[in-house]
Copies of this chain bind each other. A is one copy, B any other.
Amino acid sequence: MVEDVVRTLGFLCMGSRLRRIGERLQADTQQVIDEAGLGIQAGQYPFLAAIDRSGPLTIGELAQAVGITQPGATRTIGQLLELGYVDMQPAPDDQRRRLVSLTDKGQDLVDHSKKVIWPRIAAAVADLCGDLDGPILEQLAAIEDGLATVPLARRNAAKEENS
């Protein structure tokens, strides 16, 4: 058994730690999405959600909304275009800007996700860390331990069993 240095070093490795947990959480989330048979990546959802919430947005606005850089947004939107979930058109008043909107297929996916998948994911994550409190390092440890014990995809069933 090897010591987990990143955990041991605490604040010093906070960046690595958060990234690592984020990656695991997102991988677990992906599993939930896949089990539901939806052909989409977890990282693409925030883009669809942003448009659903705010109406058509430009690439730059999407990058801001999702909190990544513009080239990253350009790439993900390219994927969503390929998948047929969004549509892109030059803004009428400014030919530089590209307005990205949901297609019917994209809106259907969002509507279905809102009903079926998003609540499930949010509930599973809430089950994992919703009741935590206290210093962040302790909460992160609890989250890592929790994920190792019961993966996210098993956390809805567990809740339902209790009802």
Interface residues of chain A, those whose CB is within 8 Å of chain B, are 2-29, 42-43, 45-46, 49-50, 53-54, 57, 61, 64-68, 118, 121-122, 125-126, 129-130, 132-136, 139, 143
Jot down 29 A-B pairs with beta carbons below 8 A, ordered by A.
Answer: A2-B54, A2-B64, A3-B50, A3-B54, A4-B64, A4-B65, A4-B67, A6-B46, A8-B53, A9-B122, A11-B121, A11-B125, A11-B129, A11-B130, A13-B45, A14-B22, A14-B25, A14-B125, A15-B28, A16-B26, A16-B46, A17-B22, A18-B21, A18-B22, A18-B25, A19-B19, A132-B136, A133-B135, A136-B139
For residue A21, which residues in chain B have a CB less than 8 angstroms away from its CB? 18, 22
> Once the chains bind, are A23 and B19 in contact (CB under 8 Å)?
yes
For residue A22, which residues in chain B have a CB less than 8 angstroms away from its CB? 14-22
Total copies of the chain: 2
Least distance between A8 CB and chain B CB atoms (Å): 8
For residue A133, which residues in chain B have a CB less than 8 angstroms away from its CB? 133-135
